[in-house]
Chain A
Amino acid sequence: MKILVTVKRIPDPDESLKFAGNAIDTSSSKWVANAFDEYAVETALRMAEHIGNKDRLAEVIVCSVCPKDKRQHVTQFLAMGADRGVIVDADETAMDSQTVAKLVAEVFRREGCDLLVSGKLSQDSEGNEVAQRAAGLLDLPQASFAATLRWDRGANALTVGREVDDGVETKTIPLPAVVSVDLRIVLPHSVKNGATADDHKYSDGARLASLRGITMAKRKKVDVHTPAALGVTPSSHVAVAGVTAPEKRAAGQIVDSAQTLVNKLITEAKVL
């Protein structure tokens, strides 16, 4: 079993936005790993590990489209426990989701993977597209927004609890497949791999990189490809027309009684 996990670097979402003309200025941004990708790697690791045993049930490969010298997020996930990495050396900020999905699909094919796990979205553009597009390109079954996941190794299938608008939909898909994960996949009992005891309680959230993991990360193998070598020509079906900040909210007023409020809603806001 080979699990490919997509991981992305994003400008630190805790920093305040800066603009340069018609675009977001990331020149001084601190780049961090996308949080949903942490959940994706955690999911893959929970599937791969047989707690209480030394054997691994899967190889976990993290894959990122990024400039090859801006790979701190990849190293971070190797430190967390992924077995090796694949980098597609390119400026991903200039690419649309379709191009990224094509690159990911090609890596998936060449590696002969059985499962693609992605975060449901990246916190910068919140596109929520790569997993679904990759599934289409690979012609594989998919389950997006996974909140729970059970791996039935006998049947070579995954049963996924998907968080949808009106509740949780449970669906079983055969492998190979594509899964995108949501926040609750990292709750202590969300992932079961059929080998680790079903009642095993994982710690809440994505695990911290252990110090040994951190010191070993640099020694793990990372292959670097170019889009050209993968036979993918960047397309741009989507172009950015412009970026503007939302308008600042005008200062509110504090009123002294419900009566004044109603009067103001009638006379000033004219909404009643």
Chain B
Amino acid sequence: MFDPTYTEEQQALVDTARKFAAETIIPVAGEYDERAEHPQEVFEKAWALGLMNVEVPEAYGGLGLSTLEGCLISEQLAYGCAGIATSIMCNHLGCLPLMIAGTEAQKEKFLGWVTRELVFASYCCSEPEAGSDVAGMRTKLDKDGDGWRLNGQKRWITNGGYANFYTGFATIDPSLRHKGITGFVIERDRPGVSVGKKENKLGQRASNTVDVIFEDVHLTDEDLLGRPGQGFPIAMETFDKSRPMIAACAAGLIGRALDECVQYAKERKTFGVPIASHQAIQFMIAEMAMAYEVTKLLYSKAAWEVDHEVKRTSTSAIAKAMGADLAMKVTTDAVQVFGGYGYTKEYPVEKLMRDAKLLQIYEGTSQIQRMVIAKNILVRG
């Protein structure tokens, strides 16, 4: 049965992540965001403390933590900075296709690599013309003698500019739609792999987002993830397993907004009293607390379902959509609570609002989540 309590050990993991966010992320988050720079020093420290790749199994040098534990940690990191959290979590996203469909040799090579040293993994699914419509991707995998030739352009690739390897998807025949999708994993230094333009983003600016370009990249069968044409279910399972983490990120943002607002509302005075005395402010704060509880419970349940291998698509989508929408609402209200100051970069809440917006877009937009949820209700019953 789903049990929303946490063990002493899980509390200890949260404790380390929370202190790391307070001591190492929060003091630098604003600057890295402003400069839109990849915070290598933060990642080095996070990696050394074991905060990256937490779900890699022990057999490959990882900690083998559960998805729930991965989520609890992600929440704390996102409390510090959602952009930095996204880039840390991206290694998990990049490794998921390997954990789902990798051969023993692939797992040893790539999962062993991320636990041995600080390397970045990116997940290459989206394209300039295919975001929501995954099956519409055009990156092409052609048979070439014994092996394959990979051509195409991926867009919005988190950590793409720093990745040491890429997991991704291409099609052996676009007309086959989802039946043509094929997974692959390749190192960054393969001839023909290059990085294109870097996005100048609204929020989560410390997280690197770039185009990744494949030009006549030679692949062998050993570079494929699963069998040709069987990549679509791998991509979908990846999303099922990564979406709880986005919801956890939402909980982190909501929790941060709530804490910032409570503190500010007690200090800021209007009409002779702290604004916390005004019922309109109290209600916004109450709704933030409600949003936090809902999001935390939902991501815990979605993560629990991943950990216990129960049918999970719907809960993952509900947690992700609900969390993202609530994070957007709460962070918008947080700017409201701060008034004019909230709109300036002197206070952290405008960044929360900018950062939250991405949660409604990546890993399937809020609309796509609703399609998934509805399909589960109406089609599968």
CA distance A214 to B11 in the complex (A): 10
Task: State the interface size on chain A (CB cutoff 8 A).
Answer: 14
CB-nearest residue of chain A relative to B11? A72
Contact A72/B9 with A210-B49, A211-B50, A211-B65 known, Cβ cut-off 8 Å: no
**When each residue 14-56 of chain B gets 1 if its CB lies under 8 Å from chain A and 0 otherwise, what string results?**
0110011001000000000000000000000000111100100
CA distance in complex: A72, B11 (Å): 11
Q: Which residues of chain A (194-219) have a CB below 8 Å from chain B?
A: 208-215, 217-218
Known: A211-B54, A212-B63. A218 touches B9 (CB 8 A): yes
Residue B13 CB within 8 A of the other chain = yes
Q: How far is the CB of A182 from chain B (nearest CB, A)?
A: 21
Asked whether A47 is an interface residue with its Cβ less than 8 Å from the other chain, the reply is no
Assembly CA distance A75 to B13 (angstroms): 12
Q: Is the CB of B9 within 8 A of A214?
A: yes
- Known: A208-B49, A210-B49, A214-B13. Contact between A75 and B8, CB under 8 A? yes
Please list the residues of chain A having a beta carbon within 8 angstroms of any beta carbon in chain B: 72, 75-76, 79, 208-215, 217-218
For A76, the chain B residues whose CB sits under 8 A away are: 12
Q: How far is the CB of B121 from chain A (nearest CB, A)?
A: 18
Number of B residues, CB within 8 Å of A:
17
Check if A209 sits within 8 Å of B16, measured CB to CB: yes
Write out the residue numbers on chain A whose beta carbons fall within 8 Å of the beta carbon of B48: 210
Return chain B residues, CB-CB under 8 Å to A213.
Answer: 50
Q: How far is the CA of A217 from the CA of B49 in the complex (A)?
A: 15
Interface of A is mostly: helix
Please provide the 7 A-B residue pairs with the shortest distance between their CB atoms, ordered closest to farther. Answer: A211-B50, A214-B12, A210-B50, A208-B16, A210-B49, A212-B50, A208-B19
**What residue in chain A is nearest B69 (Cβ atoms)?**
A211
Instruction: Offer 17 A-B interface pairs, CB within 8 angstroms, sorted by A.
Output: A208-B16, A208-B19, A208-B23, A209-B15, A209-B16, A210-B48, A210-B49, A211-B50, A211-B54, A211-B63, A211-B65, A212-B50, A214-B9, A214-B12, A214-B13, A215-B9, A215-B65
Seed contacts A72-B8, A211-B50; 13 additional CB < 8 Å A-B pairs: A75-B8, A75-B12, A76-B12, A208-B20, A209-B15, A209-B16, A210-B49, A211-B16, A211-B49, A211-B63, A211-B65, A212-B63, A215-B9
Q: State the CA gap A213–B12 with chains docked (Å).
A: 10
Q: Please name the residue on chain A nearest to B58 by beta carbon.
A: A215
A208: B residues at CB distance < 8 A: 16, 19-20, 23, 49
Asked if A79 and B12 sit within 8 Å, CB to CB, the answer is yes
Which B residues lie within 8 Å of A79 (CB)? 12
Interface residues of B, Cβ cutoff 8 Å to A: 8-9, 12-13, 15-16, 19-20, 23, 48-51, 54, 63, 65, 73
Q: Give Cα distance in the complex from A193 to B272, angstroms.
A: 58
> Which residues in B have their C-beta under 8 angstroms from that of A72?
8
State the CA gap A76–B9 with chains docked (Å).
9
Whole-angstrom CA separation of A72 from B7 in the bound complex? 11
Q: How far is the CB of A260 from chain B (nearest CB, A)?
A: 24
B12 close to A209 (CB less than 8 A): yes
In angstroms, how far is the closest chain B Cβ from the Cβ of A31? Answer: 12
With A and B bound together, what is the CA distance between A208 and B9 in angstroms? 14
| Chain A residue at smallest Cβ distance from B19 | A208
* CA gap between A105 and B50 in the complex, in Å: 36
Min CB distance, A148 to chain B, in Å?
Answer: 23
Query: Measured between C-beta atoms, what is the minimum distance from B42 to chain A in Å?
Result: 13
Which A residues lie within 8 Å of B13 (CB)? 211, 214
Residues of A within 8 A of B15 (CB): 209
> How far, in whole Å, are A252 and B248 apart by their CA atoms in the complex?
47
Whole-angstrom CA separation of A131 from B261 in the bound complex: 44
A213 CA to B16 CA, complexed, in Å: 11
Residues on B with C-beta less than 8 A from A75 are: 8, 12
Determine the chain A residues whose CB is within 8 A of the CB of B51 once the complex forms.
211
Residue of B nearest to A76 (CB): B12
In the assembled complex, the Cα of A50 lies from the Cα of B298 at a distance in Å of: 45
Q: For A76, A211, A213, A215, which residue has the most chain B Cβ atoms within 10 angstroms?
A: A211
B293 CB, min distance to chain A CBs, angstroms = 20
Of all chain B residues, which has the CB nearest A215? Answer: B63
Q: What residue in chain A is nearest B15 (Cβ atoms)?
A: A209
Q: Separation in Å of the B156 CB from the closest CB of chain A?
A: 29
A210 CB → nearest B CB, Å: 5
CA distance A209 to B9 in the complex (A): 11
CA A213 – CA B9 in complex, angstroms? 11
A77–chain B nearest beta-carbon distance, Å: 11
CB closest chain-A residue, reference B12:
A214
- Chain A nearest CB, measured from B5 CB (Å): 15
Cα(A208)–Cα(B23), bound, Å: 10
Q: How far is A139 from B14 in the complex, measured between Cα atoms in Å?
A: 43
B-side contacts of A217, CB under 8 Å: 9, 12
CA distance A218 to B73 in the complex (A): 19
Closest chain B residue, CB of each to CB of A212: B50
A217 to B23, CA, bound (A): 23
Q: How far is the CA of A218 from the CA of B10 in the complex (A)?
A: 12
Most chain-A CB neighbours within 10 Å: which of B12, B15, B51? B12
B49 contact set on A, CB distance < 8 A: 208, 210-211
- CA distance in complex: A214, B8 (Å): 10
* B101 shortest CB reach to chain A, Å: 26
How far in angstroms is the closest Cβ of chain A from B111?
A: 16
Query: Which residues of chain B are within 8 angstroms of A215 by Cβ–Cβ distance?
Result: 9, 63, 65
Q: Which of A75, A210, A217 has the most CB of B within 10 A?
A: A210
Complex: chain A residue closest to B54, CB-CB: A211
Q: How far is the CA of A79 from the CA of B15 in the complex (A)?
A: 12
Bound together, the chains give a CA A211 to CA B18 distance in angstroms of 12
Q: Which of A76, A210, A214, A218 has the most CB of B within 10 A?
A: A214
